[in-house]
Structure 1
Amino acid sequence: MRVLVAGATGAMGKQLVPRLVDAGHEVFAMIRSESDKARASQLGAVPVIADALDRAQVEAAVRQAAPEVIVHQLTAIGHIDTRHFERSFAATDRLRIEGTDNLLAAARAAGVRRFVAQSNGAFTYTRTGGPVKNEQDPLDRSPVSQMASMIAAIEHLEKAVLGAAWTEGIVLRYGAFYGPGTSMAPGSEQFEMIRKRKFPVVGDGGGVWSFVHIADAAEATVAAVENGDRGVYNIVDDDPAPVAEWLPELAAMLGAKKPMRVPRFIGRLAAGQAGVVLMTELRGASNAKAKRELGWHPAHPTWRQGLQVSQPR
Protein backbone atom coordinates (compact mmCIF):
# COMPACT_ATOMS: atom_id res chain seq x y z
CA MET A 1 0.00 0.00 0.00
CA ARG A 2 0.96 3.63 -0.39
CA VAL A 3 1.27 5.08 3.12
CA LEU A 4 1.89 8.70 4.07
CA VAL A 5 3.38 9.24 7.53
CA ALA A 6 3.03 12.72 9.01
CA GLY A 7 5.62 13.11 11.74
CA ALA A 8 7.96 10.63 10.08
CA THR A 9 11.22 11.89 11.57
CA GLY A 10 10.20 11.90 15.24
CA ALA A 11 10.90 9.14 17.76
CA MET A 12 7.92 7.11 16.55
CA GLY A 13 8.51 7.83 12.87
CA LYS A 14 12.09 6.57 13.06
CA GLN A 15 10.75 3.24 14.31
CA LEU A 16 7.65 3.11 12.15
CA VAL A 17 8.83 4.07 8.67
CA PRO A 18 11.49 1.32 8.30
CA ARG A 19 8.97 -1.27 9.53
CA LEU A 20 6.41 -0.16 6.96
CA VAL A 21 9.07 -0.29 4.24
CA ASP A 22 10.20 -3.75 5.35
CA ALA A 23 6.56 -4.89 5.21
CA GLY A 24 6.49 -3.96 1.52
CA HIS A 25 4.63 -0.66 1.68
CA GLU A 26 5.53 2.37 -0.41
CA VAL A 27 6.07 5.02 2.25
CA PHE A 28 5.96 8.80 1.94
CA ALA A 29 7.19 11.05 4.74
CA MET A 30 5.54 14.43 5.25
CA ILE A 31 8.31 16.75 6.45
CA ARG A 32 8.46 20.48 7.14
CA SER A 33 11.61 21.52 5.29
CA GLU A 34 14.24 20.63 2.72
CA SER A 35 16.71 19.98 5.55
CA ASP A 36 14.65 16.94 6.63
CA LYS A 37 14.78 15.28 3.21
CA ALA A 38 17.95 13.33 3.88
CA ARG A 39 16.62 11.93 7.17
CA ALA A 40 13.38 10.81 5.53
CA SER A 41 15.25 9.17 2.67
CA GLN A 42 17.57 7.35 5.08
CA LEU A 43 14.51 5.84 6.73
CA GLY A 44 13.39 4.52 3.34
CA ALA A 45 10.59 7.01 2.66
CA VAL A 46 9.90 9.40 -0.22
CA PRO A 47 9.86 12.92 1.26
CA VAL A 48 7.02 15.35 0.62
CA ILE A 49 7.22 18.82 2.13
CA ALA A 50 4.38 20.51 4.01
CA ASP A 51 3.79 22.48 7.18
CA ALA A 52 1.01 20.58 8.95
CA LEU A 53 -0.56 23.88 10.03
CA ASP A 54 -0.85 25.11 6.42
CA ARG A 55 -3.89 23.45 4.84
CA ALA A 56 -2.91 24.26 1.26
CA GLN A 57 0.54 22.74 1.74
CA VAL A 58 -0.92 19.63 3.36
CA GLU A 59 -3.41 19.17 0.52
CA ALA A 60 -0.62 19.50 -2.04
CA ALA A 61 1.55 16.96 -0.20
CA VAL A 62 -1.30 14.45 0.02
CA ARG A 63 -2.12 14.89 -3.67
CA GLN A 64 1.54 14.26 -4.49
CA ALA A 65 1.75 11.11 -2.37
CA ALA A 66 -1.72 9.81 -3.32
CA PRO A 67 -1.76 7.48 -0.31
CA GLU A 68 -4.24 4.76 0.53
CA VAL A 69 -3.44 5.24 4.23
CA ILE A 70 -2.37 8.28 6.25
CA VAL A 71 -0.65 7.83 9.61
CA HIS A 72 -0.81 10.94 11.80
CA GLN A 73 2.11 10.98 14.25
CA LEU A 74 2.50 14.75 14.56
CA THR A 75 3.70 15.94 17.97
CA ALA A 76 6.05 18.60 19.29
CA ILE A 77 6.68 17.38 22.83
CA GLY A 78 10.01 18.33 24.32
CA HIS A 79 10.81 18.78 28.00
CA ILE A 80 7.66 18.44 30.10
CA ASP A 81 7.38 20.89 32.97
CA THR A 82 4.53 19.51 35.07
CA ARG A 83 4.14 22.89 36.81
CA HIS A 84 3.25 24.35 33.42
CA PHE A 85 1.87 21.26 31.72
CA GLU A 86 -0.29 23.29 29.37
CA ARG A 87 2.76 25.15 28.02
CA SER A 88 4.67 21.92 27.45
CA PHE A 89 1.82 20.55 25.30
CA ALA A 90 0.71 23.78 23.59
CA ALA A 91 2.42 23.11 20.26
CA THR A 92 1.27 19.49 20.23
CA ASP A 93 -2.28 20.54 21.10
CA ARG A 94 -2.30 22.76 18.05
CA LEU A 95 -1.06 19.92 15.85
CA ARG A 96 -3.75 17.65 17.28
CA ILE A 97 -6.44 20.19 16.44
CA GLU A 98 -5.40 22.16 13.36
CA GLY A 99 -3.00 19.53 12.03
CA THR A 100 -5.62 16.80 12.34
CA ASP A 101 -8.26 18.89 10.61
CA ASN A 102 -5.87 19.72 7.76
CA LEU A 103 -4.83 16.11 7.27
CA LEU A 104 -8.42 14.90 7.33
CA ALA A 105 -9.53 17.51 4.80
CA ALA A 106 -6.70 16.52 2.48
CA ALA A 107 -7.39 12.83 3.03
CA ARG A 108 -11.05 13.26 2.12
CA ALA A 109 -10.21 15.11 -1.07
CA ALA A 110 -7.73 12.39 -2.05
CA GLY A 111 -10.02 9.47 -1.20
CA VAL A 112 -7.80 8.02 1.53
CA ARG A 113 -9.40 4.80 2.76
CA ARG A 114 -7.74 4.50 6.19
CA PHE A 115 -6.58 7.17 8.64
CA VAL A 116 -4.52 6.13 11.69
CA ALA A 117 -3.83 8.72 14.38
CA GLN A 118 -1.71 8.91 17.50
CA SER A 119 -3.59 9.56 20.72
CA ASN A 120 -2.69 9.25 24.40
CA GLY A 121 -3.76 6.49 26.75
CA ALA A 122 -1.12 7.22 29.36
CA PHE A 123 -2.39 10.42 30.96
CA THR A 124 -5.98 10.92 29.82
CA TYR A 125 -8.43 8.41 31.30
CA THR A 126 -10.97 9.32 33.96
CA ARG A 127 -9.49 9.27 37.47
CA THR A 128 -12.45 7.50 39.05
CA GLY A 129 -13.24 3.81 39.37
CA GLY A 130 -10.82 0.95 38.91
CA PRO A 131 -7.07 1.26 38.29
CA VAL A 132 -7.05 -0.03 34.68
CA LYS A 133 -9.27 1.31 31.89
CA ASN A 134 -10.36 -0.04 28.52
CA GLU A 135 -11.30 1.81 25.35
CA GLN A 136 -14.94 2.18 26.39
CA ASP A 137 -14.04 4.12 29.53
CA PRO A 138 -14.29 7.92 29.23
CA LEU A 139 -11.42 10.35 29.20
CA ASP A 140 -11.05 12.63 32.21
CA ARG A 141 -14.19 14.77 32.44
CA SER A 142 -12.83 17.05 35.18
CA PRO A 143 -9.10 17.45 34.55
CA VAL A 144 -6.96 19.77 36.63
CA SER A 145 -6.55 23.11 34.87
CA GLN A 146 -3.00 22.47 33.65
CA MET A 147 -4.11 19.29 31.84
CA ALA A 148 -7.43 20.52 30.45
CA SER A 149 -6.13 21.83 27.11
CA MET A 150 -4.16 18.64 26.43
CA ILE A 151 -7.17 16.43 27.04
CA ALA A 152 -9.41 18.74 25.01
CA ALA A 153 -7.01 18.45 22.06
CA ILE A 154 -7.02 14.65 22.38
CA GLU A 155 -10.82 14.65 22.40
CA HIS A 156 -10.90 16.87 19.29
CA LEU A 157 -8.54 14.53 17.44
CA GLU A 158 -10.42 11.40 18.41
CA LYS A 159 -13.87 12.77 17.56
CA ALA A 160 -12.65 14.09 14.22
CA VAL A 161 -10.96 10.84 13.20
CA LEU A 162 -13.68 8.50 14.42
CA GLY A 163 -16.40 10.75 13.04
CA ALA A 164 -15.01 10.74 9.49
CA ALA A 165 -17.53 8.36 7.94
CA TRP A 166 -15.81 8.45 4.55
CA THR A 167 -12.66 6.66 5.81
CA GLU A 168 -11.67 3.97 8.33
CA GLY A 169 -10.64 6.11 11.29
CA ILE A 170 -8.34 4.41 13.79
CA VAL A 171 -7.11 5.98 17.03
CA LEU A 172 -4.12 4.51 18.86
CA ARG A 173 -3.90 5.49 22.52
CA TYR A 174 -0.24 4.92 23.23
CA GLY A 175 1.08 4.39 26.74
CA ALA A 176 4.10 6.24 28.13
CA PHE A 177 6.92 5.66 25.66
CA TYR A 178 10.33 4.37 26.63
CA GLY A 179 13.25 3.29 24.49
CA PRO A 180 15.39 5.00 21.82
CA GLY A 181 14.62 8.65 21.19
CA THR A 182 12.12 8.95 24.03
CA SER A 183 12.22 10.80 27.35
CA MET A 184 12.85 7.45 29.06
CA ALA A 185 16.05 6.28 27.40
CA PRO A 186 19.60 5.75 28.68
CA GLY A 187 21.17 9.16 29.33
CA SER A 188 17.84 11.00 29.27
CA GLU A 189 17.10 13.88 31.60
CA GLN A 190 14.40 11.84 33.31
CA PHE A 191 16.77 8.98 34.08
CA GLU A 192 19.38 11.40 35.39
CA MET A 193 16.79 12.92 37.72
CA ILE A 194 16.06 9.46 39.08
CA ARG A 195 19.75 8.76 39.54
CA LYS A 196 20.19 12.00 41.47
CA ARG A 197 17.08 11.38 43.63
CA LYS A 198 15.35 14.41 42.13
CA PHE A 199 12.31 12.34 41.09
CA PRO A 200 10.46 11.55 44.32
CA VAL A 201 7.37 9.45 44.97
CA VAL A 202 4.59 11.92 45.78
CA GLY A 203 1.97 10.98 48.37
CA ASP A 204 1.09 7.30 48.20
CA GLY A 205 2.47 6.98 44.65
CA GLY A 206 -0.83 5.38 43.68
CA GLY A 207 -0.99 6.78 40.14
CA VAL A 208 -1.04 3.82 37.73
CA TRP A 209 1.14 4.12 34.62
CA SER A 210 0.92 2.08 31.44
CA PHE A 211 4.14 1.94 29.47
CA VAL A 212 5.02 0.77 25.98
CA HIS A 213 8.38 0.33 24.29
CA ILE A 214 8.60 2.63 21.26
CA ALA A 215 9.43 -0.35 19.00
CA ASP A 216 6.35 -2.24 20.21
CA ALA A 217 4.21 0.83 19.59
CA ALA A 218 5.57 0.99 16.04
CA GLU A 219 4.73 -2.69 15.48
CA ALA A 220 1.18 -2.06 16.69
CA THR A 221 0.90 0.85 14.29
CA VAL A 222 1.93 -1.34 11.36
CA ALA A 223 -0.76 -3.82 12.46
CA ALA A 224 -3.33 -1.00 12.52
CA VAL A 225 -2.29 0.16 9.04
CA GLU A 226 -2.70 -3.36 7.68
CA ASN A 227 -5.50 -4.89 9.75
CA GLY A 228 -7.23 -2.29 11.89
CA ASP A 229 -10.94 -1.63 11.96
CA ARG A 230 -12.52 1.71 12.79
CA GLY A 231 -12.18 2.44 16.49
CA VAL A 232 -9.86 3.06 19.42
CA TYR A 233 -7.05 0.79 20.59
CA ASN A 234 -4.93 1.06 23.72
CA ILE A 235 -1.31 0.39 22.78
CA VAL A 236 0.33 -0.44 26.10
CA ASP A 237 2.26 -3.29 27.66
CA ASP A 238 0.80 -6.04 29.85
CA ASP A 239 1.92 -4.56 33.17
CA PRO A 240 0.28 -1.33 34.38
CA ALA A 241 1.92 -0.37 37.67
CA PRO A 242 1.63 2.33 40.33
CA VAL A 243 4.39 4.91 40.69
CA ALA A 244 5.21 3.52 44.15
CA GLU A 245 6.15 0.27 42.41
CA TRP A 246 7.78 1.20 39.11
CA LEU A 247 9.80 4.23 40.24
CA PRO A 248 11.81 2.43 42.98
CA GLU A 249 12.34 -0.54 40.65
CA LEU A 250 13.62 1.70 37.87
CA ALA A 251 15.91 3.48 40.34
CA ALA A 252 17.37 0.10 41.30
CA MET A 253 17.93 -0.75 37.61
CA LEU A 254 19.84 2.53 37.26
CA GLY A 255 21.96 1.78 40.32
CA ALA A 256 20.42 4.70 42.18
CA LYS A 257 19.26 4.98 45.75
CA LYS A 258 15.60 4.47 46.54
CA PRO A 259 13.55 7.57 45.59
CA MET A 260 12.56 9.95 48.35
CA ARG A 261 8.92 10.23 49.37
CA VAL A 262 7.25 13.60 49.81
CA PRO A 263 3.70 14.51 50.89
CA ARG A 264 1.20 15.74 48.32
CA PHE A 265 1.46 19.39 49.37
CA ILE A 266 5.23 19.35 48.81
CA GLY A 267 4.71 17.63 45.48
CA ARG A 268 2.20 20.31 44.49
CA LEU A 269 4.73 23.06 45.26
CA ALA A 270 7.47 21.34 43.29
CA ALA A 271 5.58 19.75 40.41
CA GLY A 272 2.21 21.53 40.31
CA GLN A 273 -1.25 20.00 40.28
CA ALA A 274 -0.50 18.02 37.12
CA GLY A 275 2.53 16.45 38.73
CA VAL A 276 0.46 15.34 41.71
CA VAL A 277 -2.17 13.81 39.40
CA LEU A 278 0.50 11.87 37.50
CA MET A 279 1.92 10.55 40.75
CA THR A 280 -1.23 9.79 42.72
CA GLU A 281 -4.41 9.60 40.60
CA LEU A 282 -3.54 8.36 37.11
CA ARG A 283 -5.27 5.26 35.73
CA GLY A 284 -3.65 2.61 33.58
CA ALA A 285 -4.94 1.00 30.38
CA SER A 286 -5.71 -2.51 29.13
CA ASN A 287 -4.26 -3.81 25.85
CA ALA A 288 -6.71 -6.72 25.51
CA LYS A 289 -8.52 -5.22 22.51
CA ALA A 290 -5.33 -4.52 20.55
CA LYS A 291 -4.13 -8.06 21.17
CA ARG A 292 -7.46 -9.55 20.17
CA GLU A 293 -8.30 -7.43 17.13
CA LEU A 294 -4.92 -6.35 15.77
CA GLY A 295 -3.12 -9.60 16.50
CA TRP A 296 -0.43 -7.55 18.23
CA HIS A 297 1.61 -8.78 21.17
CA PRO A 298 4.37 -6.58 22.61
CA ALA A 299 7.87 -8.02 22.39
CA HIS A 300 8.46 -6.23 25.71
CA PRO A 301 5.39 -7.40 27.67
CA THR A 302 6.52 -5.58 30.79
CA TRP A 303 8.53 -2.45 31.47
CA ARG A 304 10.42 -4.50 34.06
CA GLN A 305 12.06 -6.44 31.26
CA GLY A 306 12.06 -3.73 28.60
CA LEU A 307 13.69 -1.04 30.71
CA GLN A 308 16.20 -3.54 32.08
CA VAL A 309 17.45 -4.61 28.67
CA SER A 310 17.57 -1.01 27.45
CA GLN A 311 20.14 -0.01 30.04
CA PRO A 312 23.78 0.23 28.91
CA ARG A 313 25.87 -2.76 29.96
Structure 2
Amino acid sequence: MRILVAGAGGVVGLPLTRELIARGHHVVGTSRNPDSRPELRDAGATVVRMDAFDLASVEHAVAEARPDAVIHQLTDLSAVDLEANAELRIVGTRNLVDAMRRFGVPRLVTQSIAWLYADGVGLADETVPLRAATGPGARTVEGVVALEHTSAEIPDHVILRYGKLYGPGTWYSPDGDFGRAARDGVFEGNGVESFLHVADTVAPTVAALDWPAGIVNIVDDEPAEPDEWLPTFCRWVGAQAPTGKARGPGRGASNAKARTLGWQPLYPTWRKGMAD
Protein backbone atom coordinates (compact mmCIF):
# COMPACT_ATOMS: atom_id res chain seq x y z
CA MET A 1 0.00 0.00 0.00
CA ARG A 2 1.15 3.54 -0.72
CA ILE A 3 0.69 5.62 2.43
CA LEU A 4 1.19 9.35 2.95
CA VAL A 5 2.13 10.09 6.56
CA ALA A 6 1.47 13.76 7.26
CA GLY A 7 3.77 14.71 10.12
CA ALA A 8 6.11 11.77 9.57
CA GLY A 9 8.98 13.27 11.56
CA GLY A 10 7.09 13.62 14.84
CA VAL A 11 7.27 11.62 18.05
CA VAL A 12 4.58 9.29 16.68
CA GLY A 13 5.18 9.80 12.97
CA LEU A 14 8.78 8.57 12.85
CA PRO A 15 8.35 5.18 14.58
CA LEU A 16 5.09 4.77 12.68
CA THR A 17 6.90 5.35 9.39
CA ARG A 18 9.54 2.78 10.31
CA GLU A 19 6.91 0.19 11.21
CA LEU A 20 4.91 0.74 8.02
CA ILE A 21 8.05 0.28 5.93
CA ALA A 22 8.98 -2.85 7.89
CA ARG A 23 5.56 -4.22 6.97
CA GLY A 24 6.22 -3.66 3.28
CA HIS A 25 4.29 -0.44 2.68
CA HIS A 26 5.64 2.38 0.53
CA VAL A 27 5.66 5.46 2.75
CA VAL A 28 5.78 9.07 1.65
CA GLY A 29 6.42 11.33 4.64
CA THR A 30 5.80 15.06 4.75
CA SER A 31 8.01 17.72 6.27
CA ARG A 32 8.13 21.50 6.05
CA ASN A 33 11.89 21.12 5.63
CA PRO A 34 12.78 17.74 4.07
CA ASP A 35 16.52 18.41 4.29
CA SER A 36 16.26 18.45 8.07
CA ARG A 37 14.76 14.94 8.26
CA PRO A 38 17.50 12.52 7.14
CA GLU A 39 16.12 9.91 9.54
CA LEU A 40 13.03 9.55 7.36
CA ARG A 41 15.11 8.79 4.29
CA ASP A 42 17.33 6.51 6.36
CA ALA A 43 14.19 4.58 7.29
CA GLY A 44 13.38 4.12 3.62
CA ALA A 45 10.66 6.74 3.22
CA THR A 46 10.23 9.15 0.36
CA VAL A 47 10.10 12.68 1.79
CA VAL A 48 8.06 15.50 0.27
CA ARG A 49 7.91 19.14 1.28
CA MET A 50 4.52 20.18 2.66
CA ASP A 51 3.23 23.26 4.46
CA ALA A 52 -0.09 22.19 5.98
CA PHE A 53 -1.33 25.80 6.00
CA ASP A 54 -0.86 26.13 2.23
CA LEU A 55 -3.49 24.23 0.22
CA ALA A 56 -1.36 24.27 -2.94
CA SER A 57 1.53 22.72 -1.01
CA VAL A 58 -0.73 20.01 0.43
CA GLU A 59 -2.22 19.26 -2.98
CA HIS A 60 1.26 18.96 -4.46
CA ALA A 61 2.29 16.50 -1.73
CA VAL A 62 -0.82 14.35 -2.21
CA ALA A 63 -0.47 14.40 -5.99
CA GLU A 64 3.19 13.37 -5.76
CA ALA A 65 2.51 10.61 -3.23
CA ARG A 66 -0.48 9.09 -5.06
CA PRO A 67 -1.44 7.37 -1.79
CA ASP A 68 -3.98 4.66 -1.13
CA ALA A 69 -4.34 6.07 2.38
CA VAL A 70 -3.31 9.10 4.42
CA ILE A 71 -2.31 8.98 8.09
CA HIS A 72 -2.76 12.40 9.69
CA GLN A 73 -0.20 12.94 12.47
CA LEU A 74 0.16 16.72 12.15
CA THR A 75 0.74 18.53 15.45
CA ASP A 76 2.43 21.73 16.61
CA LEU A 77 3.42 21.02 20.18
CA SER A 78 7.16 21.66 20.41
CA ALA A 79 6.62 25.09 21.99
CA VAL A 80 3.63 24.02 24.16
CA ASP A 81 1.52 26.44 22.11
CA LEU A 82 -2.05 25.12 22.29
CA GLU A 83 -3.38 27.94 20.12
CA ALA A 84 -0.96 27.06 17.31
CA ASN A 85 -1.83 23.38 17.64
CA ALA A 86 -5.55 24.11 17.42
CA GLU A 87 -4.99 26.23 14.32
CA LEU A 88 -3.07 23.39 12.70
CA ARG A 89 -5.87 20.97 13.53
CA ILE A 90 -8.41 23.28 11.92
CA VAL A 91 -6.59 24.58 8.86
CA GLY A 92 -4.20 21.69 8.23
CA THR A 93 -6.94 19.08 8.40
CA ARG A 94 -9.17 21.13 6.10
CA ASN A 95 -6.41 21.37 3.51
CA LEU A 96 -5.48 17.70 3.82
CA VAL A 97 -9.05 16.49 3.37
CA ASP A 98 -9.69 18.87 0.46
CA ALA A 99 -6.57 17.55 -1.28
CA MET A 100 -7.61 13.95 -0.63
CA ARG A 101 -11.03 14.59 -2.11
CA ARG A 102 -9.55 16.29 -5.16
CA PHE A 103 -7.28 13.35 -5.92
CA GLY A 104 -9.64 10.59 -4.86
CA VAL A 105 -7.72 9.21 -1.86
CA PRO A 106 -10.17 6.83 -0.16
CA ARG A 107 -8.76 6.18 3.33
CA LEU A 108 -7.84 8.47 6.24
CA VAL A 109 -6.53 7.70 9.73
CA THR A 110 -6.44 10.76 12.00
CA GLN A 111 -4.79 11.40 15.36
CA SER A 112 -7.16 12.96 17.90
CA ILE A 113 -7.29 13.07 21.72
CA ALA A 114 -9.32 11.26 24.39
CA TRP A 115 -9.44 13.77 27.24
CA LEU A 116 -12.19 16.15 26.13
CA TYR A 117 -15.26 14.08 26.96
CA ALA A 118 -18.22 15.72 28.67
CA ASP A 119 -18.45 15.13 32.41
CA GLY A 120 -20.39 12.09 33.58
CA VAL A 121 -20.27 8.88 35.55
CA GLY A 122 -17.93 6.08 34.57
CA LEU A 123 -15.48 5.77 31.71
CA ALA A 124 -16.38 7.53 28.48
CA ASP A 125 -16.79 5.40 25.39
CA GLU A 126 -16.78 6.77 21.86
CA THR A 127 -20.51 7.59 21.93
CA VAL A 128 -20.10 10.20 24.70
CA PRO A 129 -20.10 13.77 23.35
CA LEU A 130 -17.17 16.09 23.77
CA ARG A 131 -17.38 18.87 26.34
CA ALA A 132 -18.57 22.33 25.34
CA ALA A 133 -16.02 24.78 23.94
CA THR A 134 -16.03 27.13 26.93
CA GLY A 135 -13.48 28.30 29.46
CA PRO A 136 -9.67 28.11 29.26
CA GLY A 137 -9.61 25.01 27.05
CA ALA A 138 -12.18 26.23 24.54
CA ARG A 139 -9.75 26.63 21.66
CA THR A 140 -8.44 23.08 22.09
CA VAL A 141 -12.01 21.75 21.96
CA GLU A 142 -12.72 23.84 18.87
CA GLY A 143 -9.63 22.47 17.18
CA VAL A 144 -10.48 18.85 17.95
CA VAL A 145 -14.12 19.23 16.88
CA ALA A 146 -13.02 20.75 13.57
CA LEU A 147 -10.37 18.06 13.04
CA GLU A 148 -12.83 15.23 13.65
CA HIS A 149 -15.73 16.70 11.65
CA THR A 150 -13.49 17.47 8.70
CA SER A 151 -11.86 14.02 8.81
CA ALA A 152 -15.32 12.43 8.73
CA GLU A 153 -15.88 13.94 5.26
CA ILE A 154 -13.75 11.04 4.02
CA PRO A 155 -16.25 8.15 4.25
CA ASP A 156 -13.55 5.56 4.96
CA HIS A 157 -12.02 7.28 8.00
CA VAL A 158 -10.79 6.19 11.42
CA ILE A 159 -10.28 8.76 14.17
CA LEU A 160 -7.93 7.56 16.91
CA ARG A 161 -8.40 9.36 20.21
CA TYR A 162 -5.04 8.86 21.91
CA GLY A 163 -4.67 9.17 25.65
CA LYS A 164 -2.16 11.66 27.05
CA LEU A 165 1.17 10.55 25.67
CA TYR A 166 4.04 9.87 28.03
CA GLY A 167 7.49 8.47 27.42
CA PRO A 168 10.49 9.57 25.33
CA GLY A 169 9.94 12.74 23.33
CA THR A 170 6.68 13.71 25.06
CA TRP A 171 5.76 16.39 27.60
CA TYR A 172 5.29 13.67 30.25
CA SER A 173 8.88 12.47 30.54
CA PRO A 174 12.03 13.35 32.51
CA ASP A 175 13.20 15.54 29.63
CA GLY A 176 9.73 16.88 28.77
CA ASP A 177 8.12 20.15 29.72
CA PHE A 178 6.01 18.62 32.48
CA GLY A 179 8.98 16.70 33.86
CA ARG A 180 10.93 19.95 34.17
CA ALA A 181 7.88 21.71 35.65
CA ALA A 182 7.52 18.98 38.28
CA ARG A 183 11.17 19.38 39.30
CA ASP A 184 10.57 23.13 39.55
CA GLY A 185 7.59 22.48 41.82
CA VAL A 186 5.05 24.11 39.50
CA PHE A 187 3.22 21.09 38.06
CA GLU A 188 0.12 19.76 39.83
CA GLY A 189 -1.49 17.58 37.18
CA ASN A 190 -4.57 18.09 35.07
CA GLY A 191 -7.32 16.02 36.65
CA VAL A 192 -8.34 12.48 35.74
CA GLU A 193 -6.05 11.20 33.00
CA SER A 194 -6.22 8.38 30.50
CA PHE A 195 -2.58 7.85 29.57
CA LEU A 196 -0.91 6.14 26.62
CA HIS A 197 2.75 5.24 26.39
CA VAL A 198 4.17 6.63 23.16
CA ALA A 199 5.32 3.12 22.24
CA ASP A 200 1.65 2.11 22.17
CA THR A 201 0.70 4.54 19.40
CA VAL A 202 2.19 2.64 16.47
CA ALA A 203 0.39 -0.73 16.50
CA PRO A 204 -3.19 0.63 16.62
CA THR A 205 -2.42 3.27 14.01
CA VAL A 206 -1.13 0.63 11.61
CA ALA A 207 -4.09 -1.63 12.42
CA ALA A 208 -6.54 1.23 11.84
CA LEU A 209 -5.77 1.06 8.11
CA ASP A 210 -8.03 -2.02 8.16
CA TRP A 211 -10.52 -1.07 10.88
CA PRO A 212 -14.14 -0.08 10.22
CA ALA A 213 -14.81 3.64 9.90
CA GLY A 214 -15.44 5.52 13.14
CA ILE A 215 -13.87 6.78 16.35
CA VAL A 216 -11.70 4.58 18.60
CA ASN A 217 -10.20 5.45 22.00
CA ILE A 218 -6.55 4.41 22.23
CA VAL A 219 -5.80 4.61 25.96
CA ASP A 220 -4.36 2.39 28.65
CA ASP A 221 -6.43 0.38 31.13
CA GLU A 222 -6.16 2.61 34.20
CA PRO A 223 -7.50 6.17 34.16
CA ALA A 224 -6.46 7.89 37.37
CA GLU A 225 -6.77 11.09 39.35
CA PRO A 226 -3.62 13.12 40.11
CA ASP A 227 -3.41 11.82 43.68
CA GLU A 228 -2.80 8.38 42.16
CA TRP A 229 -0.54 9.00 39.17
CA LEU A 230 1.31 12.19 40.10
CA PRO A 231 3.54 10.68 42.86
CA THR A 232 4.67 7.96 40.43
CA PHE A 233 5.33 10.56 37.75
CA CYS A 234 7.36 12.68 40.17
CA ARG A 235 9.52 9.73 41.20
CA TRP A 236 10.14 8.95 37.54
CA VAL A 237 11.23 12.47 36.62
CA GLY A 238 13.22 13.08 39.82
CA ALA A 239 10.87 15.60 41.43
CA GLN A 240 9.64 16.03 44.97
CA ALA A 241 6.32 14.31 45.60
CA PRO A 242 3.39 16.75 45.86
CA THR A 243 2.18 17.40 49.40
CA GLY A 244 -1.39 18.61 48.79
CA LYS A 245 -4.48 17.14 47.22
CA ALA A 246 -4.49 17.61 43.45
CA ARG A 247 -7.93 17.67 41.87
CA GLY A 248 -9.20 18.84 38.53
CA PRO A 249 -11.74 18.25 35.78
CA GLY A 250 -11.52 15.28 33.50
CA ARG A 251 -13.01 11.92 32.72
CA GLY A 252 -11.29 8.69 31.93
CA ALA A 253 -11.86 6.97 28.60
CA SER A 254 -12.65 3.33 27.87
CA ASN A 255 -10.48 1.25 25.53
CA ALA A 256 -13.05 -1.57 25.23
CA LYS A 257 -13.74 -0.88 21.55
CA ALA A 258 -10.05 -0.95 20.64
CA ARG A 259 -9.60 -4.24 22.48
CA THR A 260 -12.59 -5.69 20.64
CA LEU A 261 -10.82 -4.73 17.41
CA GLY A 262 -7.77 -6.71 18.54
CA TRP A 263 -5.49 -4.06 20.07
CA GLN A 264 -3.70 -4.69 23.37
CA PRO A 265 -1.39 -2.07 24.91
CA LEU A 266 2.21 -2.96 25.60
CA TYR A 267 1.87 -0.84 28.74
CA PRO A 268 -1.60 -1.56 30.17
CA THR A 269 -1.03 0.95 32.97
CA TRP A 270 1.00 4.10 33.51
CA ARG A 271 2.31 2.43 36.69
CA LYS A 272 4.42 0.07 34.59
CA GLY A 273 5.30 2.59 31.90
CA MET A 274 6.52 5.25 34.30
CA ALA A 275 8.41 2.68 36.37
CA ASP A 276 10.19 1.35 33.25
Common fold by TM > 0.5: yes
Q: Which residue of 2 aligns with 1:241?
A: 224
Aligned to 1:62: 62
1:31 is matched with 31
Q: Would you say the 8 A contact 2:167–2:173 is kept in 1?
A: yes
> Are positions 1:150 and 2:143 aligned together?
no
Q: What TM-score comes out, normalization by structure 2 length?
A: 0.94
TM-score, normalised on structure 1?
0.83
Q: Number of residues paired by the alignment?
A: 276
- Partner in structure 1 of residue 91 of structure 2: 98
- Aligned-partner SS, 1:285: coil
1:103 deviates by: 0.8
Query: What residue in structure 2 maps to residue 74 of structure 1?
Result: 74
How far residue 261 of structure 1 moved from its aligned partner, in angstroms, is: 1.8
**Is 1:125 the counterpart of 2:117 in the alignment?**
yes
Whether the 8 Å contact between 2:29 and 2:45 is mirrored in structure 1 is yes
CA distance in 1, matches of 2:44, 2:222: 33
Cross-structure match for 1:200: 188
Is the deviation greater in 183-192 or in 280-289?
A: 183-192
For 1:233 and 1:213, how far apart are their aligned partners in 2?
A: 16
The corresponding residue for 2:272 is: 305
1:172-218 residue CA offsets vs partner (Å, 9 max, x unmatched):
111100112111223323223323433236xxx8x210000111112
CA RMSD of aligned residues (A): 1.8
Provide the rounded CA distance (Å) in 1 between the counterparts of 2:57 and 2:251.
Answer: 39
1:185 aligns with 2:173: yes
Q: 1:219 aligns with which of 186, 193, 203?
A: 203
Q: Does 1:281 align with 2:240?
A: no
Unaligned runs of 5+ in 1: 81-87, 264-278
Structure (1/2) with the larger helix percentage: 1
Q: Structure 2: how far apart are the matches of 1:179 and 1:248? A: 16
Contact in 2 for aligned 1:15/1:214 (Cα 8 Å)? no
- Specify the code of the residue in structure 1 equivalent to 2:14: K
* Counterpart Cα distance in 1 of 2:42 and 2:77: 23
Deviation at 1:229, TM superposition (A): 1.2
Partners of 1:132 and 1:64 lie apart in 2 by 43
User: Where does residue 242 of structure 2 map in the other structure?
Assistant: 259
Shift of 1:282: 0.7
SS in 2 for 1:48: strand
| DSSP-derived class of the 2:78 partner | coil
Cα deviation, 1:41-78, whole Å, max 9, x if unaligned, reads: 12321001111111111111111110001011111013
SS in structure 2 at match of 1:71 = strand
Percent identity, aligned pairs only, is: 40
